[in-house]
Amino acid sequence: MANISISARNLSKNYGKTHAIKEVDFDIKNGEIVGILGPNGAGKSTILRILGGLTTADSGTAIVCGLPVADNSLETKKKIGFMQENNPLPEELRVREYLKLRAELKEIPKEIIATEVRRVMDLCDLFRTARRKIIRTLSKGFKQRVGIADALIGSPDIIILDEPTIGLDPHQIQGIRKLIDMLRTKHTVLISSHILSEIEKNCDRVIIINHGRVVAEGTKQDLADEFVNENRLFVTIEGNATIFSNYLDEAMLSYQIDTTFENEKNMTHFTIQSPKTFIISNFIRAIENFEDCNLLGIYLLKPDLESIFLAATKRSWEEEMNH
């Protein structure tokens, strides 16, 4: 268990009569980048706030770097860099002043505060552009960078980022993504998001939360194996596609058609759902025998996180209904 950074053991938390999270259980290893994925109100922020020592669980134990958070919240906070959802910052301070204050509060030795603040500003590309700016005047993207720079101060073992890309434009999202990528292996990173592509691109492992419960956990491949029961093939046909459509109908495969004309050739693209047992080589041989219809391309579409997420949440709803 020595290489476990974060452990959640049966965490439950209620707000009044509402169950925010219920018996949440997971482990995160050192140096992993893990995404917590879930719809709005699923309980992602509550889990992160419990791990960050901002609130306490009604039952269960959160363990950070081997220490139970509830009993050692000041100690565990020293090991965590936390950026909250919406990243609230004191608007009247300048970026450098704010980061200096945070470094002091995080008990960074006085003699290295300036160097440390410079390091995190360089890392987040704040030094050249924004160090003297008042936080109020910064764009949303730069404010997020300030929040991440704050989380990085003191090189904590664990970085927790709650919705780091919320409200950002694509350029800013790409910047933040690069920044998170730079943290790989140096820190254990826990990111929450409801944006699937974010988690897909950044994270080694995903924890899917729905209605306050962990409904799936693992690498994208693990989750695909567990939740996706069919392959998706992308096939491009030239010529008379009716023969091919009839073949698919006979084989009882569901498909979508998109016809295009490129270089005066009549090309038809099929996206086909097939069972996992489907043998593609037989399929190719069958197509080769068709007249007036040539196979131009075929490739297997990898299951995306969206389909995994939808399958996992659907299964959790079905289980809840059955109960």
Partner 1 sequence: MRHFFILLRHEVRLLFIAPSTYIAALLFLLLMGFIYWAIIRNMTLMPQDSSAINQFFSLFWLPVFFSVPLLTMRSIASEKNQSTLETLFSAPVPKFAIVLSKYAAAYILYCILWLLTLYFPYITASALPETISNASLTNSSAIMGSILFIAISGWLFIAVGIFTSSLTRSQLVAGMLCFTFLFILCVGAQQLEYATYAYFESGTFIYETIQYLNVFRHYQDFSLGIIDTRPFVFYGSMSLILLSFTVYMIES
Which residues lie near partner 1 (CB under 8 A)? 52-54, 74-75, 77-78, 80, 82, 84, 86, 88-92, 101-102, 104-107, 150
Comparison of 5 and 84: residue with beta carbon closer to partner 1: 84
Q: Kind and range of the H or E element at 104?
A: helix 95-105
Rounded least distance, CB 10 to partner 1, Å: 24
Nearer to partner 1, 117 or 228 (CB): 117
| CB nearer partner 1, residue 104 or residue 306 | 104
Cα–Cα distance between 138 and 133 in angstroms, integer? Answer: 7
C-alpha radius of gyration, the chain, whole number: 25
Cα distance between residue 174 and residue 178, in whole Å: 6
Question: How near is the Cβ of 125 to partner 1 at its closest, in Å?
Answer: 21
CA-CA-CA-CA dihedral for 121, 123, 127, 133, to nearest 10: -60
Query: Smallest distance, Å, CB 84 to partner 1?
Result: 6
Q: Which is nearer to partner 1, 147 or 175 (CB)?
A: 147
Asked if residues 170 and 130 have their Cβ atoms less than 8 Å apart, the reply is no
Sign of the torsion angle spanned by Cα atoms 143, 97, 128, 134? positive
Distance CA(242)–CA(293), nearest Å, equals 9
- In the complex with partner 1, the residue whose CB is nearer, 49 or 211, is 49
Full strand arrangement of the beta sheet holding 158-162? 80-83, 158-162, 188-193, 33-37, 205-210, 213-218
| Among 283, 275, 269, residue whose Cα is nearest residue 235 | 269
Residue 252 CB, nearest approach to partner 1 (Å): 55
How are the residues of the chain apportioned to helix, strand and coil, as percentages rounded to the nearest 5? 40, 35, 30
Least Å from the CB of residue 88 to partner 1 = 4
Q: What is the DSSP string of 106-129?
A: TT--GGGHHHHHHHHHHHTT-HHH
Cβ proximity to partner 1: between 100 and 211 the closer is 100
First-to-last C-alpha distance (Å) of the chain = 34
- Which is closer to partner 1, CB of 29 or CB of 78? 78
CB of 253 to partner 1, least distance (A): 52
**Smallest distance, Å, CB 87 to partner 1?**
8
